[in-house]
Amino acid sequence: MKIKNKKTGFAAMTAVLILGIVATVLLPSILLINTDNIRVEMAVSSSGKALNLANACAETALNKLRNNSSYTGNETITYSIGNCQILTFVGSSPNYTIRTRSTINNYTKKIQVITSQITPVIIVTSWQETDF
């Protein structure tokens, strides 16, 4: 008749219990870190999309000005990923300040473009993200 060593079973059960406790403590932390990473990625994505839209609106405004010298902005442009606004131009020809704005998921980006010449070609002296 063989007698089994009860200590081996106790050691294995203790190891499993400790691993279970460690996993229970670490799992919520890992999930919170992943949730925060997802939020940051969404913020970066939304901010980038808003900036791209504001830049696209500025390009559209310049093209419309090139095609129609009396164009002064004040319109909303719709693209597949969202809308942006071309605000009313400030200044007079050829020195316009063109301002555009776009908001995606509460992230607003604003672009300001300053021109120094309209014809025969548009000369842009400044193009920057700003807070007007």
Place of tokens 């070609």: 121
Percent of the chain at pLDDT > 70 equals: 94
The answer to whether residue 2 sits within a structural domain is: no
* DSSP-derived pairing of the beta strands 82-86 and 95-104: antiparallel
pTM: 0.73
The answer to whether residue 1 sits within a structural domain is: no
pLDDT, position 3: 56
99 - beta bridge partners?
112
Domain count within the chain: 1
Residue numbers of the domain that contains 68: 7-129
Could you report the per-residue pLDDT of 6-31, keeping only the tens digit for each?
566 777 788 888 888 888 888 777 77
Q: With the C-alpha atoms ordered 90, 93, 94, 98, is the resulting torsion angle positive or negative?
A: positive
Task: Please name the amino acid found at residue 9.
Answer: G
Could you report the per-residue pLDDT of 80-116, keeping only the tens digit for each?
989 999 999 999 999 999 999 999 999 999 999 999 9
